[in-house]
Structure 1
Amino acid sequence: MTDAPVRIAEADGQHAVLAFSGDLDAPALVVLEELLLDPRLREPRAWTLEMSGLDHIDLACAYALLRTVTRAPEPVALTIRGARPAVHRTLRQAGLDTVAAFTA
């Protein structure tokens, strides 16, 4: 599915990049949760969430990201790149700023 709001752009044993686009809201929550269970994301201990193409994320999806990172058996170094102000605000409201580094 090429129009999915989130996809794994790259993943190897060390690092994973998830690319976001469009709107990530309630209808997309199942897609996001299924993607976060992808076996390619189990090994990498560093994730980059590329959010420059994301227009909107709702709190349920932001919480799903937070749950995944905080419940991982091994710590995940999380970087959120390119989040627009409204997306950044929602991620902060969910508490992702406590577990992630934000970059432009």
Structure 2
Amino acid sequence: MAAEHTTPHVEPVISVSTAGRRAELVLSGEIGAAVLRELEQRLDAPALAGAAEWVVDLSGVTRLDLACAYALLRVATQTARPPAVTIRGARRGVRRTLHHAGLDAVATIAE
């Protein structure tokens, strides 16, 4: 009997830190519908609203749900002076989701 190959489930982690006018968001694991509410709450933090620059580290994200990508897009564009957003470390499938959500139009996606 052949061994079944499955990708291990990785618990999602969402952290936000700020230093002055710069915010860093680090996401890892499977960022999907199960964590959408938590993601939206974290993105609604007052510290993010005052940041002029966001760095979003997605290097640990194994899967990004389109609804979560839209949540990032909404927050990044909802203010009169949106922050400069740089997304780093996104895998190919995650970059595709970011593109489908339109984030590549408002953010720099670094490989």
Q: CA deviation at 1:13?
A: 2.5
CA contact (8 A) 1:13 1:43 kept: no
Cα offset, 1:72, TM superposition: 1.9
Q: Does the 8 Å contact 2:69/2:97 carry over to 1?
A: yes
Between structure 1 and structure 2, the one with the greater Rg is 2
Q: What RMSD over aligned residues (CA atoms) do the two structures have, in Å?
A: 1.2
Query: Over residues 51-89 of structure 1, what are the superposed CA-to-partner deviations in whole Å (9 max), with x where a residue is unaligned?
Result: 000000111000010011110232210000000000000
Paired amino acid for 1:6: I
Q: Identify the range of structure 1 (80-89 vs 68-77) with the bigger mean alpha-carbon deviation.
A: 68-77
Residues 12 and 31 in structure 2, CA contact (< 8 A), matched pair in contact too? no
Q: Could you list the runs of 5+ residues in structure 2 that have no partner in the other structure?
A: 1-10
Secondary structure of the residue that 2:82 maps to in structure 1? Answer: coil
After TM superposition, list the pairs within 5 Å mapping 1:35-74 onto structure 2.
35-74=42-81
Moved runs in structure 1, 4+ residues, more than 3 A? none
* Percentage of matched positions with identical amino acids: 44
Partner of 1:30: 37
Residue of structure 1 equivalent to 2:14: 6
